[in-house]
């Protein structure tokens, strides 16, 4: 079964699945293979509904994952099963009689405007302040994903039109507006770099190499600690804050969907559940009793 997993993951890469998606699928399928090997069921004929039920039961008992994590594992295995069916290696779909739990809706965690301003201010006093100021300003002004911000090249920043060109999930290209403050911070950062070229990575680590996702997370963790924020802060926190603050200030869902790079509007609509302040403001302005 190992060879078929490798072939399946190679197909995902050829279809331009994001590296993070391929990594998650690889981890899930490797865990499933270890389970099958331990039971002496490492042949394709053992890829059955009963084996899947036993595997998922073991995962839930030993690790107690969140519902969404469990759903991701099921999605990985379901995709692998579909691939094997297409290749004629499976005669029956092992998921046909296997019901999946409903996805658990988790509301995005975001920072308030004062908390965001405190985080951005703290980024101007770090060891690599020019880079970190540009990094935080750009993330908050654009709402980019972690992989999108680390994948940017200098040539992707359009200083004249105030845009950044982003390659999102599935290598889909989009243009996202950014603030003048973010553009100014990027210019200041590039002025500190030695002979930067258009094709060079926009953000570098302390060793002069392209900043990675793990490196970005490390920067956020340390900056949040220095800012004395009471909550955990990740690069996605600024993405959620970007979306929530825009909605609270009147941005429409369709425009926000385009900026965030969401494939469906449903993914963007989750932010309507956290924009309570906007609802309260509209309510006070519209309700007759609030005008008295």
Q: Is 169 left (phi over 0), alpha (psi -120 to 50) or beta?
A: beta
Residue 162, SS3 per DSSP: coil
Helix H or strand E segment including 11? helix 2-14
Other Cβ atoms less than 10 A from the Cβ of 141: the count is: 22
CA distance 200 to 188: 16
Q: Are the beta carbons of 247 and 272 closer than 8 angstroms?
A: yes
DSSP 119: H
Active site residues: 145, 169, 236, 239, 262, 271
- Tell how far CA 151 is from the center of its chain: 13
CA distance 292 to 289: 6
Provide the token pair at 228: 């004395």
């Amino acid at each position: 079964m190992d060879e078929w997993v490798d072939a399946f993951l190679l197909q995902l890469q050829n279809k331009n699945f994001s590296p993070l998606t391929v990594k998650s699928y690889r981890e899930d399928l490797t865990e499933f293979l270890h389970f099958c090997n331990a039971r002496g069921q490492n042949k394709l004929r053992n890829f059955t509904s009963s084996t899947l039920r036993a595997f998922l039961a073991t995962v839930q008992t030993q690790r107690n994952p969140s519902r969404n994590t469990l759903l991701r594992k099921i999605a990985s295995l379901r995709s692998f099963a579909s691939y094997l069916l297409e290749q004629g290696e499976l005669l029956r779909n092992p998921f046909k009689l296997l019901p999946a739990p409903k996805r658990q809706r988790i509301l995005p965690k975001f920072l308030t405007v004062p908390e965001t301003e405190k985080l951005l201010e703290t980024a101007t006093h770090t060891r690599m302040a020019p880079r970190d100021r540009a990094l935080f300003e750009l993330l908050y002004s654009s709402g980019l994903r972690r992989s999108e911000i680390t994948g940017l090249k200098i040539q992707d920043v359009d200083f004249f039109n105030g845009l950044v060109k982003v390659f999102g999930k599935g290598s889909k290209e989009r243009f996202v507006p950014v603030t003048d403050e973010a553009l100014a911070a990027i210019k200041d950062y590039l002025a500190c770099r030695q002979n930067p070229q258009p094709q060079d990575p926009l953000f570098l680590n302390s060793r002069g190499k392209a900043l990675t996702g793990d490196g970005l997370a490390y920067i956020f963790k340390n900056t949040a600690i220095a800012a004395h924020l009471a909550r955990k802060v990740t690069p996605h926190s600024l993405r959620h804050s970007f979306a929530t603050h825009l909605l609270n200030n009147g941005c429409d869902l369709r425009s926000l969907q385009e900026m965030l790079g969401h494939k469906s509007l449903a993914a963007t609509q989750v932010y309507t559940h956290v924009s309570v302040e906007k609802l309260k403001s509209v309510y006070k302005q519209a309700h007759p009793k609030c005008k008295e």
